[in-house]
Structure 1
Amino acid sequence: MLEGETIVGDDIAYLRNINGEARAVNVEKGVFGIIKGINAKDDPIQWKVLHTPNEIIFSNVLIDDKGKPYWTGMGEEIPERGYNHSGEWWKGKKDKEGNEIPPSHPNARFTVSLEAFENLDPRWDDPDGVEIGAIVYGGRDSDTWVPVQEAFDWEHGIVTKGASLESERTAAVLGKEGVREFNPMSNLDFLSIPIGKYIEINLEFGRKLKKKPKIFAVNYFIRDKETGEYLTDKNDKKVWYKWMELRVHNDVDAIWTPTGYIPRYEDLVPLFREILSKEYPEELYIKQFTIRIPENLAKIDRIERIYGKIEGTPPELFRILEEERKRLEELREKLGDYVSPKDVEELMKQTQR
């Protein structure tokens, strides 16, 4: 959650076309969230909720002999003994494979009413809903997408951001971590209709809107190509969302790239200072927003192969992916495999794009 902003729901919204405008109504009563990593410094809103008397369900956390819950990454000293998903637990306890069992399960959760949150918007239960200014898609991606980018238009966003979404597995998903999974709109497990039909419905929804929301893609997990270290901090997303808000209101310009619009360095510097009270080195910006052309082309190949086997995939999807491929290949011919945002910006000035 972002300090200074309000919420109308957790992670489900019902979108409708009302007089040519996309509006969303919250359909949830509460929040069912991952508790791992929630701490007082980074997540003050959730932290306060979890430490205020209320009806809260904690699952798969560590419980001490007094019934107090603890979880990984909470920023407090963890007891050396207690009870968790493995039964009686002690520091250093191992499973049958010989792996050390953490105090709380990686998929430990909390469940609580939305009304427990001080940042709940007054319109959270309004049947008229709220206007949607932007839709944001995101997954775990260590090597391809930049931290934040804006699609060129609705169709480009639905196809290259939503329908092309991949995410590397985490412990929250059963199975091997790090495996790249195809998960359009992060909604594959919940679809009751064929994927091709679902994509077509999304495209058609936008065509009927007089006022289309912008579509963005975020990636908080991009890594340095040399060191393998994450290039963004947990709280950097506050800056990415504020930049998206500025774009929705046409308050800042952006840099054209083959995959969408990205932020200008000079627009991010004041946001990092105002929101996070820290400096933002240009060297870091360049690493974060360098266009990784080989990885983006490989992604297009993967997505085309997948949809080539899916019956009912709308033809527009393949057209839009091929257009993106062509843009990437043209940029590679001019500037190479890995292109700095500064070089892209200079090239666009020369061509007056």
Structure 2
Amino acid sequence: FDENGVLRAINPENGFFGVAPGTSTATNPMAMETIFSNTLFTNVAKTGDGGVYWEGLEKEVDTSVGIVDWHGDPWTPGSGAPSAHPNSRFCAPAGQCPIIDPQWESPEGVPISAILFGGRRPLGVPLVYETFSWQHGVFVGASMRSESTAAAEHKGKVIMHDPFAMRPFFGYNFGHYLSHWLSMAERSNAANLP
């Protein structure tokens, strides 16, 4: 919180880390511009002309150049197997993003006016909704359920408890994590909280 009680934050990361399959200029044009150079790729297919390939790039890559899948085997569209691992990734410096805020590295951070928890729920739950208070937001975040992903240890599309859409990333006791979120309401007045 700053001297006016406004919640501010910095991003301690220096880059973007994303799932490759399904990413394209149609689904995420800014990601595609960001990863055009100076990027690490894992478990994606390689094209004969030195490029990369994954499912979702069919309209953007000339498949006649020859493709080697993530196992190192020759691959063609229609082969029945994916070219890239379902959890293949890219990692690129954040500074390469064409729409990154000019103040993204400001030591004061940026004011936080909303907090979004991005779980995966294709059915039964509204895509976005607003909570009534900080405490209600913590309750909703803590009780989230989300569909498993290719990165999860569970196979298939299983709906499981996923507090704050962060279950795989909890680094300490969840009770302490929850207490920390609840304590934020005591550090500023309600008008300053997202």
Q: TM-score surpassing 0.5?
A: yes
Q: Give distance in 1, aligned partners of 2:92 and 2:167.
A: 25
Residue 117 of structure 2 aligns to a residue whose secondary structure is: strand
Where does residue 65 of structure 1 map in the other structure?
48
**Which runs of 5 or more residues in structure 1 are unaligned?**
1-16, 94-99, 215-353
One-letter amino acid of the structure 1 residue matched with residue 183 of structure 2: E
**Which runs of 5 or more residues in structure 2 are unaligned?**
none
Q: Which of the residues 92, 95, 98 maps onto 1:112? A: 92
Q: Is the 8 A contact 1:37 1:72 kept in 2?
A: yes
Where does residue 179 of structure 2 map in the other structure?
200
Q: Which of the residues 35, 38, 55 maps onto 1:50? A: 35
Instruction: Report the alpha carbon displacement of residue 77 of structure 1 after superposing the two structures with TM.
Output: 5.0
The normalised TM-score by structure 1 is 0.50
Q: CA RMSD in A?
A: 2.0
Q: Give distance in 1, aligned partners of 2:123 and 2:53.
A: 33
For 1:98-247, what aligned pairs fall within 5 Å after superposition? 100-160=80-140, 162-210=141-189, 211-214=191-194
Q: Give distance in 2, aligned partners of 1:203 and 1:197.
A: 10
Q: Computing the radius of gyration over CA atoms, which structure comes out larger, 1 or 2?
A: 1
- Structure with a larger share of its residues in helix: 1
Instruction: Report the alpha carbon displacement of residue 78 of structure 1 after superposing the two structures with TM.
Output: 5.9
The normalised TM-score by structure 2 is 0.87
Where does residue 24 of structure 1 map in the other structure?
9
Identity percentage of aligned residues? 32
Runs of 4+ in 1 over 4 A off after TM superposition: none
Instruction: Report the alpha carbon displacement of residue 193 of structure 1 after superposing the two structures with TM.
Output: 2.5
Q: Give distance in 2, aligned partners of 1:191 and 1:171.
A: 18
Instruction: Report the alpha carbon displacement of residue 213 of structure 1 after superposing the two structures with TM.
Output: 3.2
Q: Give distance in 2, aligned partners of 1:185 and 1:57.
A: 28
Q: Is the 8 A contact 1:89 1:103 kept in 2?
A: no
Q: Is the 8 A contact 2:33 2:98 kept in 1?
A: no
Change (3 A) 1:208 1:49: closer
Q: Give distance in 2, aligned partners of 1:186 and 1:43.
A: 21
Change (3 A) 1:84 1:212: farther
Change (3 A) 1:40 1:193: closer
